[in-house]
Amino acid sequence: MSPAALQSIRLFPFENYWWFYLGFTLLVIGLLALDLGVFHRKAHAVGMKEAGVWVCIWVSLAMLFNFGLYHYSMWRFPQVEELMAIPGFDPLVAAKQVALEFLTGYILEESLSVDNMFVFVVVFRYFAIPRELQHRVLFFGILGALIFRGAFIALGSVLIQYQWMLILFGVFLIVTGAKMMFSSDEEVHPEKNFIIRLFRKYVPVTPRLHGQKFFVIEDGQRMATPLLVCLLFLEMTDILFAVDSVPAIFAVTREPLIVYTSNVFAILGLRSLFFLLAGAVHLFHMLKYGLSIVLIFVGLKMVWLNKLYGGHFPITLSLGIILGVIAASIVLSLIFPKKAPVEDNGGV
């Protein structure tokens, strides 16, 4: 059976795998609780060495999960009568397709999430959040991101059943990619955000940080701290990023289970990746061009390339293109570094 034919089959229907979603979500919550309650119980500035170790841990967990998903699929698919009754269905081919789709989706989401880091750096600087408190903000930001991503994925899994919606998603990604490529680097202005302005209107905010606290009592009044306002703004930006990233991964796979798990693992590793690269994000000035090309590519997959290849663009080719474009943009950034602006010293 061809990969295109596999796309029309639901390998992990929700009614049969609700327990998997529940167990996976509980596992993630447990990992996050262990992270905050044990490893990062005390607020401290995360160094590059510590961040590098955690990046390796999260990536290893994602690959271990993919390995387990592959072997589970090889064991489970032959036992499903509905699948084995399909002419030409090969459990080994299907299991390989599942593993490749997860890997491609994970790399795609991790790559697109790197774009968030540019915003994180600016926002933390704007709210003057010290390094020792940034981990706490990102931790709770991830909890919110998991909820929003889950809602987007659930909605997307329903909408992609309609061909016209797939085309609409594809066109949206192409337009977004083109806009990203030709847009100038705009500064982030949290004070102009409607949600932030609405929040400040109804909730008093103290101008001073109070350690890890999101709320504090001052002069008998309960007030929010800048830490909470920063968290709220990061949540708003993640929703905007999810609008791009969730449709993009549906160009790789139609399986909501793969979309959800690869998204979650990408989000889990984002904090550590941020602390590892925060001081060097300015070096990758050509990354936005690479990401824009990736978005245009996955949009073209939805609109045209899948149909050109009989219903499904080869997943191995997709993986190679995404990895190649991202790697090339990083290498080109290092070969051709961005020139620092020339300061005017008044002719002295």
Weakest-pLDDT range from 47-56, 76-85, 275-284: 275-284
The pLDDT value given to residue 40: 63
Average pLDDT over residues 306-327: 85
In a domain? residue 278 = yes
Does the structure show a pLDDT above 60 at 344?
A: no
**pLDDT score of 80 more than 50:** yes
Residue 311 pLDDT exceeds 80: no
Least confident of 129-138, 225-234, 292-301, 335-344: 335-344
Whether 347 shows a pLDDT value over 50: the answer reads no
CA angle 123, 126, 129 (to 5 degrees): 80
Distance CA 297, CA 303 (A): 10
- Report the pLDDT averaged over residues 219-246: 84
Q: What is the pLDDT of residue 220?
A: 83
Tracing tokens 């007030």 back to the chain, one arrives at: 223
User: What whole-number percentage of the chain has pLDDT above 70?
Assistant: 88
pLDDT at 8: 65
pLDDT digits (tens, 9 = 90+) for 195-215: 788 888 888 888 888 888 889
Confirm whether 348 is domain-assigned. no
Domain range spanning residue 148?
Answer: 3-335
Q: What is the pLDDT of residue 47?
A: 75
For residue 245, tell me if it sits in a domain: yes
| Model confidence at 41: pLDDT above 70 | no
Q: Is position 171 within any domain?
A: yes
What average pLDDT score do residues 57-68 get? 95
What pLDDT was estimated at residue 279? 64
Residue 199 lies in a domain: yes
Per-residue pLDDT tens digits for 141-178: 888 888 888 888 888 888 887 888 888 888 988 998 88
3-state secondary structure labels for all residues of the chain: CCHHHHCCCCCCCHHHHHHHHHHHHHHHHHHHHHHHHHHCCCCCCCCHHHHHHHHHHHHHHHHHHHHHHHHHHHHHHHHCHHHHCCCCCCHHHHHHHHHHHHHHHHHHHHHHHHHHHHHHHHHHHHCCCCHHHHHHHHHHHHHHHHHHHHHHHHHHHHHCCCHHHHHHHHHHHHHHHHHHHHCCCCCCCHHHCHHHHHHHHHCCECCCCCCCCCEEEECCEEEECHHHHHHHHHHHHHHHHHHHHHHHHHCCCCCHHHHHHHHHHHHHCHHHHHHHHCCCHHHCCCHHHHHHHHHHHHHHHHHHHHHHCCCCCCHHHHHHHHHHHHHHHHHHHHHCCCCCCCCCCCCC
Task: Report whether pLDDT(348) > 50.
Answer: no
Task: Tell whether 344 is covered by a domain.
Answer: no
Range with the poorest average pLDDT among 67-71, 192-196, 231-235, 324-328: 192-196
Average pLDDT for 96-105: 94
pLDDT at 68: 96
As for how many domains the chain has, the answer is: 1
Residue 37: pLDDT over 70: no
pTM, to two decimals: 0.84
Q: Is residue 341 part of a domain?
A: no
Model confidence at 287: pLDDT above 90 = no
**28 lies in a domain?**
yes
Rounded CA-CA distance 244/111 in Å is: 12
Provide mean pLDDT across the span 313-330.
89
- Contact by Cβ (8 Å): 153, 259: yes
